Amino acid sequence: MFVHQRQGSLEVICGPMFSGKSEELIRRIKRAIIAKQKVQVFKPALDDRYDVSAIASHSQRKHDAIPVKDSVELARHLDPEAQVVALDEVQFMDEGLIPIIEDLADHGVRVIAGGLDQDSNGEPFGIMPILLAKAEYVTKLQAICMVCGALAGRTQRMVQTGGQVLVGAAEAYEARCRHCHETPHATGGRLLEDPAQGS
């Protein structure tokens, strides 16, 4: 007897800033819509750089999204009929998102999550290492190093500020390769001064 079973999965799109993560996420969302699948899109409310209620790429491609402050709020908004759930900037989300994603995928939903895999110190960022380990499919994108032009897998913070999270774009960050990336704790590394304050 043939039994049709929906196959849920987790896809993770990761890489540094300016590597095209949101652009790739939007591309996959559009393809799912063309395929007439019911899609829900979420983003952290914290990320309001380009649009409060849309995910947006640095090249200004956009798609409507539900802004949520945490995993509890996201769970309240989930549509039980959704076939595809897309999440942008998941590095900003709390650990409560992990069992939600697992449950969705276990019940046949295609989950697509995009975000930074490393913070500006080159360390694993938030829940991304766990999602990468649990994903069926991982796409790691590269940017272009703003110093030497090589492929870049890291994000360089250009302003001096405390804390792991600083929401920003080209005014605060650059893509860097391993060799051009500088961190405060690296041998010979230094914090870059805020260019607005001079040096």
Tokens of 97: 């998102």
| Chain mean pLDDT for the chain | 86
Tokens of 159: 């302003």
Is 148 annotated in a binding site? The answer is yes
Is 14 annotated in a binding site? The answer is no
pLDDT at 193 (0 to 100): 35
Higher pLDDT pick, 52 / 155: 155
DSSP 191: P
Domains of the chain: 9-142 (3.40.50.300)
Is 91 annotated in a binding site? The answer is yes
From CA 18, how far away is CA 111, in angstroms rounded?
22
Q: Residue 121: left if φ>0, alpha if ψ -120 to 50, beta else—which one?
A: alpha
DSSP 118: B
pLDDT at 196 (0 to 100): 33
Is 53 annotated in a binding site? The answer is no
| Residue 89 known to be catalytic | yes
Of the residues 24, 89, 174, 182, only one is catalytic, namely 89
Is 129 annotated in a binding site? The answer is no
* pLDDT tens per residue, range 119-177: 999 999 999 999 999 999 999 999 999 999 999 999 998 866 655 555 555 567 899 99
